[in-house]
Amino acid sequence: MSVVITVAPTGPIASKADNPHLPTQPVEIADAVAEAHAAGAAVAHIHLRDHQHRPTADLAIGRRTMDLIAERCPILVQLSTGVGLDVPFAERAALIELRPRMATLNPCSMSFGSGEFRNPPADVRRLAARMAELGVKPELEIYDTGHLDACLRLRDEGLLDAEPLQFSLVLGVAGGMAATPENLLAMVRRLPENAVWQVIAIGRRNLELTAIGLALGGNARAGLEDTLYVRKGELSPGSLPLVERTVGLAGALDLGIAGVEETAARLGLTGR
């Protein structure tokens, strides 16, 4: 069995003040992705930042970032439609017009740290339908038990034309489920058969929950979006050490690392 590793070099919240190694500009992001790919990542989960380092859904920045990544390596790009908490949903949704291989689909609104992550049901349904039209595979982000039911309703309505379903179980966001092994296990047991899934473990329990996810047969995500630290009190000098650590965990569990072509086949991505 082999494991798909996704690199998430930059998220919607942290800044260079939190970790000076956080990439924010297209070239920085593309360089971080390329070194993660060389270390074993087959998928890149991408948030964009503007020149002031703020989360943005600017299409030109998105196109440039995707082009720079493609120049460097054949990694599969998964654009975040979560973007950032203050970016309007319509702008976030427009990013899929850039036709990345995959994009995130966040099924429900929720509190998110001290902010609010707005994913109104009608907008989510429209975004899911447009993704199906464009052949952009959704990565379904589940932050709580009801989010899984919301995704299964979308599937039952025919809005997720994307077998196998691809889930991320997100643990550790304040406002979503806590990062505990019990919560992870409960969610894994409820996933539909044949689902492809990974753990996204935010914050302090990143390493532990990522390891449990791998041991349970899931894929893994690594990078500064999920934790800024390699260990307590020690900032990670980029996403590479976190990707390498995840590759090491997989190796210790006697799991291979899936390359780009194998990952595309397992996710049922259409040829481009």
211 binds, among Zn ion, ligand KMH, none (CB under 5 to 8 A by kind): none
**Residue 5 vs 202, nearer CB to ligand KMH:** 202
What number of residues does the chain have? Answer: 272
- Residues 246, 230 contacting (CB under 8 angstroms): no
- In DSSP terms, 168 is beta-bridged to 141, 198
DSSP labels, 203-269:
GGGHHHHHHHHHHTT-EEEESTTT-SEEETTEE-SSSHHHHHHHHHHHHHTT-EE--HHHHHHHHTP
With CB under 5 A as the contact rule, the residue among 10, 78, 80, 81 that binds Zn ion is 80
Query: Restricting to residues 73-102, which ones interact with ligand KMH according to CB under 6 A?
Result: 80-82
Q: Report 5-34 residues binding ligand KMH (CB under 6 A).
A: 11-12
Angle between helices 240-252 and 26-39 (to 10 degrees): 20
Structure token digits, residue 177? 């489920």
Q: Which is nearer to ligand KMH, 25 or 104 (by Cβ)?
A: 104
Q: Considering only residues 87, 170, 184, 255, which one is a binding residue for ligand KMH as defined by CB under 6 A?
A: 170
Instruction: Identify the CA nearest to 106 among candidates 114, 97, 95.
Output: 95
Q: Taking the complex as a whole, how short is the minimal distance between the CB of residue 1 and ligand KMH, in angstroms?
A: 26
For 63, what's the count of Cα atoms within 13 Å in the CB-facing half-sphere?
6
Distance separating alpha carbons of residues 22 and 49, to the nearest angstrom: 11
Least separation in angstroms between residue 254's CB and ligand KMH is: 29
264 part of the interface to ligand KMH, by CB under 6 A: no
* Cβ(220)–Cβ(199) below 8 Å: yes
User: Closest approach of Cβ 81 to ligand KMH, in Å?
Assistant: 6
- Is position 210 an interface residue for Zn ion (rule: CB under 5 A)? no
The listed partner (ligand KMH, Zn ion, none) that binds 172, CB under 5 to 8 Å by sort, is: none
239 makes contact with ligand KMH (CB under 6 A): no
DSSP state of 108: S
Binding mask 123-142 for ligand KMH (x = CB under 6 A): ------------------x-
Contact 6, 43 (CB under 8 A): yes
For residue 31, the minimal CB distance to Zn ion (Å) is 19
Integer Cα distance of 5 and 210 in angstroms: 11
Work out how close the CB of 181 gets to ligand KMH at its nearest, in angstroms, rounded to a whole number.
Answer: 19
| Least distance from Zn ion to the Cβ atom of residue 223, Å | 10
Is the Cβ–Cβ distance between 214 and 1 less than 8 Å?
no
Residues within the interface to Zn ion (CB under 5 A): 80
Residues within the interface to ligand KMH (CB under 6 A): 11-12, 80-82, 104, 106, 141, 170, 173, 200, 202, 225
